[in-house]
Amino acid sequence: MINYFSSDFKLGILGGGQLGKMMLYDTRKYDIQTYVLDPNSEAPSRIACDHFEQGDLMDFDTVVNFGRKVDILTFEIEGVNIEALKKLEAEGIKTYPSAATLEKIQNKAIQKEFYTEKNIPTAPFKRYQKIANLIADVESGARSLPFVWKSATGGYDGKGVSVIKEAEDLQKLPNAECIAEEMIPFKNELAVIVARTPSGEVKTYPVVEMEFHPTANQVEYVICPARIENHVAEKARAIAKQVSEAFEHVGLLAIEMFQTENDDILVNEVAPRPHNSGHYSIEASYTNQFEQHIRAILDLPLGNTDSKVGGIMVNLVGDKDYEGEVVYKNIDTIMKMDGVTPHIYGKKITRPFRKMGHVTIVNKDINEARNIAERVKGEIKVISRS
């Protein structure tokens, strides 16, 4: 085994946002030397890494030069230059997840075609190189409304996805490659995180459930374990494992899924990195997702993915009416509540709907956790000074 701990070994991380920041708790715990590249000099990961560099993740030379300094390269954001990863791999620098895996995921149309090819259940869809082709299909009646439009590239946190209900909605869409997906009525939106090592050891985390606001189309709570029947949970974990193996993925893969009215599981999309749906694991799991990612890419034994207690995650997003220097109003009130831990990502400026942090609520009784989570959501507000 390579000596990763307090040694000359160097781990590179592309991206220095909140996911990178949380990953650094675990590289610090293991005293693994880290290099971080991010375009923002004020990135949350700028401290706690050993070496921080400011630079463009989509620039070939920047990524290649950065990657040459490290022994293993990983990323916390998918928007990185794939040609640079290929070049580095050719030079013998290990990249986990690999360029080949990322390439299949970065473009949502390619990702969907990959599911079809591998017999992974997913909602029916069609790929369009240009928006004009999609408009033609709608006009000819070949595609009926409503349907889900997804941009092939550049989508993130709900951007690049729209439900198209009327023909005139089509006019607002960018003229880029996209897919049109059948709208599937579903009972639940679920997610499973899978960890896989270069040696092929695989472990899945329990199924989590995204609970949506009853009227606003917005995830309010990520709940672990999902309040679903065992046989559905087992099916979801089995499919997640199948997806990870199909991609020959190394590291963490978060798989978002729909549970249909008939209890079928359809894969929606994946993220090849630690994921918002796994933040609960810091407080609730035997092995949190960030530590697991580090274990996986270093080909160390994977840790126990079970939960010690029930966990619920609430995102802290900037209030829609405020912009400016951030204030976490009533944070002291929520810290009085049982099993409540706020995570503050370290962004100084709040903007409407900006992800500023999250709050985890843990409890042996998941229903009690859910009650406390509702009180948390009712109290805390991400606003700005006066």
Place of tokens 């791999």: 89
Q: Could you tell me the smallest distance in angstroms from the CB atom of residue 382 to a second copy?
A: 10
Strand partners, 33: 10
Q: 18: closest CA among 53, 42, 54, 51?
A: 42
293 belongs to the binding site for a second copy (CB under 8 A): no
Among 308, 352, 365, 367, binds a second copy (CB under 8 A): 308
Rounded-to-integer distance, Cα 185 and Cα 188, Å: 9
Query: 3-state SS of the chain: helix, strand, coil percent to 5?
Result: 30, 30, 40
Q: Could you tell me the smallest distance in angstroms from the CB atom of residue 291 to a second copy?
A: 8
Is residue 335 marked as binding?
A: no
Rounded-to-integer distance, Cα 289 and Cα 195, Å: 9
CA-based radius of gyration for the chain: 21
Phi and psi angles of residue 22, each rounded to the nearest 5 degrees, phi first: -70, -30
Of 24 and 193, the one with the shorter C-beta distance to a second copy is: 24
Q: Which amino acid is at 128?
A: Y
CA atoms within 13 A on the CB side of 180: 22
Q: Could you tell me the smallest distance in angstroms from the CB atom of residue 335 to a second copy?
A: 5
Rounded-to-integer distance, Cα 54 and Cα 72, Å: 19
Residue 339 contacts residue 280 (beta carbons within 8 Å): no
Q: Which amino acid is at 71?
A: D
156 belongs to the binding site for a second copy (CB under 8 A): no
User: How many residues form the binding site for a second copy (CB under 8 A)?
Assistant: 45
Is residue 23 marked as binding?
A: no
Q: Could you tell me the smallest distance in angstroms from the CB atom of residue 313 to a second copy?
A: 14
Stretch that binds a second copy, among 88-96, 155-163, 239-247, 284-292 (CB under 8 A): 284-292
Q: Could you tell me the smallest distance in angstroms from the CB atom of residue 1 to a second copy?
A: 5
Stretch that binds a second copy, among 41-49, 121-129, 212-220, 267-275 (CB under 8 A): 41-49
Phi and psi angles of residue 282, each rounded to the nearest 5 degrees, phi first: -55, -45
Of 103 and 368, the one with the shorter C-beta distance to a second copy is: 368
Q: Could you tell me the smallest distance in angstroms from the CB atom of residue 331 to a second copy?
A: 6
Name the site residues for a second copy (rule: CB under 8 A).
1, 3, 5-6, 21, 24-25, 28-31, 47-50, 286-287, 291, 295, 300-301, 303-304, 308-309, 326-328, 331-332, 335-336, 338-348, 362, 364
| Sequence ranges of the binding site for ATP | 108, 150, 181-184, 189, 268-269
